[in-house]
Amino acid sequence: MKRVAILQSNYVPWKGYFDLMASVDEFVLYDDMQYTRRDWRNRNRIKTPHGLQWLTVPVQVKGRFAQSIRDTLIDGDAWADSHWKALTLNYRRAPAFEVTASWLEPMYRQPWTHLSVLNRALIEAVCLRLDISTRVSNSWDYVLQDERSERLASICEQAGATTYV
């Protein structure tokens, strides 16, 4: 039996995302879907002493309404310093921050160009720390059907899935 889950990538996903990943044999990042503005693809919130704070990776969207998540370009690199400073300021006193910072900070020092690549790198880095060994693949690793309603079933079939989660 092979269990497969298919979901779009997110910028630093929630705990349930990783629970789902840990429950399957293969996790497909479905980043061939249309990028949606004001969604979790390029932003997330952190808790601060003053309430929730948004961390948003700026992306190029003007004139690109139909672009896929996969094709979404990151707009500049100033966001990375800003995000790292916010994380450090708000979590430096947390237990294990230094250990976490040792692997997380380098992620914010790389020159990312595509949102999907950034998201996957962060997701895989967290999986490594959580000891989640699920195979991660991209939807473009498979032949996608033209009809959206058949795409998920086709990916599952090509992946050899017996169960879609």
Whether this prediction's pTM lies above 0.85 is answered by yes
Comparing 12-16, 18-22, 59-63, 136-140, the range with the smallest average pLDDT is: 59-63
Look at residue 47 in the predicted model and tell me its pLDDT. Answer: 96
Q: Give the whole-angstrom CA distance, residue 97 versus residue 14.
A: 18
pLDDT tens for 105-151 read: 999 999 999 999 999 999 999 999 999 999 999 999 999 987 777 89
Q: Give the whole-angstrom CA distance, residue 118 versus residue 104.
A: 12
Q: Give the whole-angstrom CA distance, residue 143 versus residue 55.
A: 34
User: Domain map of the chain by residue range?
Assistant: 3-164
Cβ contacts of residue 78 below 8 Å, gap of 6+? none
Phi, psi dihedrals of residue 157, rounded to the nearest 5°: -60, -45
Other beta carbons less than 10 A from residue 29's beta carbon: 22
